[in-house]
Copies of this chain bind each other. A is one copy, B any other.
Amino acid sequence: MKLGKTLAVPVSVALTIAVVAPSLSQELPPIFPGVTTLGERTIPAPVGLSPEMLEVVKERQIPPFIPGPETTEAWLEFQALFDVAGEKLGRAAAAHNGASYEVTEIAGVRTYVVTPNEINERWGDRVFIHTHGGAWVFGGGDSALREAVWMASGLGVKVVSVDYRRPPLHPFPAAIDDAVVVWQEVTQNQDASKTALFGTSAGGNIALATTLKLKAMGAPLPGAVFAGTPATDVENVSDTWHTMAGLDPLGAREEGSMIAGTIEQYAGNADLSDPLLSPVNGDLVGFPPTILISGTRDLLLSDTVRMHRALRKSGVEADLHVYDGQVHGDYMQNLLRPVPEAADAQRELYEFFDAHLE
């Protein structure tokens, strides 16, 4: 904690202001103009978690700083390396949860049609369209099964996952274009109001952007949207990217970092404030009901709550759920083993979609 020497007022007064009277703070001179230096600190494991979730926290690895690749070839190698592990996990998730899947083309776009072991009988006529996560660059192919299976098996619903074109070869707006044409094709034979759109992380960003694009096109909109810990402002580095650095293994969004690089690869030469890149800037009036999930240790908590506020300010029915002690994407931790908090997130999603899909 850094304290300047300008603190001439008695401690008791400072304390009063701090604890009891925040609105009086203008009576003291600022010690730092909005920038805070925090000293070294030790953070224990969060309290109140289930034993299963506590295990996840205890097993957590925080990787060191990862620089972004510098050439297109290096990005392609990196991408392939990443996707090997993701694809293996995707197939394991399908097998473990008894979900089947079919790879097919819809409107010329490669898609995965995922069918759970058991379809919820009330939802036989629902379809969920999925845009996978993985920082725009990663998470394609069988990797997408992780999230698609989590939703399909968790809620008992058919999922169509869009294996959208990705950077470095296919930057923005290729992913959105692919999602839009799949959406249009699926909703030719299916009420849009019975159809959901969802994604996590970069996939949440693409799901929100795709909905904005459909809205701008005057196309039928999803009955409801789920954006899990979505990137919603790629122009600015939102607050929890700083405050949660070191607690969330995703890695800080610093100059030269892999994560910052993925945004550059995706955005290309586009304006980062474009609402299709930064949906928090979008015209959200008339947006479908939307559910958002994050965690208190999530680097994208700020992006998530800012989107929630932007939706609410535009009069959109939007629900926010924040899980204590969870980092980016932790709500899917029950993909291969039981984690009560993750099952609880599936219950929230089920209730939300059950209420909002026509």
Residue A58 contacts which of B30, B54, B242 (CB distance < 8 angstroms)?
Answer: B30
Of the listed stretches A37-45, A112-120, A173-181, name the one at the interface; the rest are far from the partner chain. Answer: A37-45
Given A38-B40, A81-B16, is A47 in contact with B239 using a C-beta cutoff of 8 Å? Answer: yes
Q: Which residues of B contact A35 (CB under 8 A)?
A: 42-45
Which residues of A are at the interface with B, using a C-beta cutoff of 8 A? 1, 3, 7, 11-26, 28, 30-31, 33-48, 54-64, 66, 78, 81-82, 85-86, 89, 93, 134-135, 138-139, 143, 146, 233, 236-240, 242-247, 249-251, 258-259, 280, 296-297, 301-302, 305-306, 308-309, 312-313, 319-325, 327-330, 332-333, 335-337, 344, 348
- Name the contact of A305 in the complex, choosing from B23, B34, B324 (C-beta under 8 A): B324
Residues of B contacting A7 in the complex (Cβ-Cβ under 8 angstroms): 61
Q: Assess A33 versus B46: contact at CB under 8 Å? Given A138-B19, A246-B39.
A: no
Q: Is the CB of A332 within 8 A of B16?
A: no
Q: Which residues of B contact A251 (CB under 8 A)?
A: 15, 18-19
Q: How far is the CA of A57 from the CA of B39 in the complex (A)?
A: 19
B249 x A18 contact (CB < 8 A): yes
Decide if B64 touches A22 in the complex (CB within 8 Å). Answer: no
Residues on the B chain within 8 Å of A249, using CB: 17-19, 22
Residue pair A56, B25 in contact (C-beta under 8 Å) = yes
Q: Is the CB of B36 within 8 A of A85?
A: no
Cross-interface CB contact of A11 among B64, B238, B323, B335, cutoff 8 Å: B64
Given A18-B251, A89-B21, A57 and B82 touching (CB < 8 A)? Answer: no
6 contacts between A and B (CB under 8 A): A20-B139, A22-B327, A24-B85, A240-B296, A312-B321, A319-B319
Given contacts A34-B44, A44-B35, A305-B296, A134 and B19 within 8 Å (CB-CB): yes
> Given contacts A40-B37, A243-B296, is CB(A23)–CB(B335) below 8 Å?
yes
Partner among B66, B134, B236, B330 whose Cβ is within 8 Å of the Cβ of A20 = B134
Contact B20 A82 (CB under 8 A): yes
Contact assessment for A47 and B247 in the assembled complex, using a CB-CB cutoff below 8 Å: no
In the complex, are the beta carbons of B28 and A61 less than 8 A apart?
yes
| Chain B residues, Cβ within 8 Å of A319 | 319
Q: Which residues of B contact A146 (CB under 8 A)?
A: 21, 23
A236, B47: Cβ atoms closer than 8 Å: yes
Query: Of B15, B47, B236, B247, which is within 8 A of A258 by CB?
Result: B15
Return chain B residues, CB-CB under 8 Å to A306.
48, 324
- Given A18-B249, A86-B16, residue A336 in contact with residue B30 (CB < 8 A): no
Query: How close is A235's CB to chain B, nearest CB, in angstroms?
Result: 9
* Contact status A34-B54, CB under 8 Å: yes
Given contacts A35-B45, A324-B309, contact A59 B26 (CB under 8 A): yes
Q: Which residue of B lies closest to A83 (CB)?
A: B20
- Chain B residue numbers with a CB within 8 Å of A82 are 12, 15-16, 19-20
Chain B's closest residue to A244 (CB) is B243
A3 CB to nearest B CB, Å: 6
Query: Quick one: which of B1, B86, B134, B344 contacts A64, CB cutoff 8 A?
Result: B1
Which residues of B have CB within 8 Å of A335?
23
Q: Which residues from chain B contact A238 at a C-beta distance below 8 Å?
A: 46-48, 324
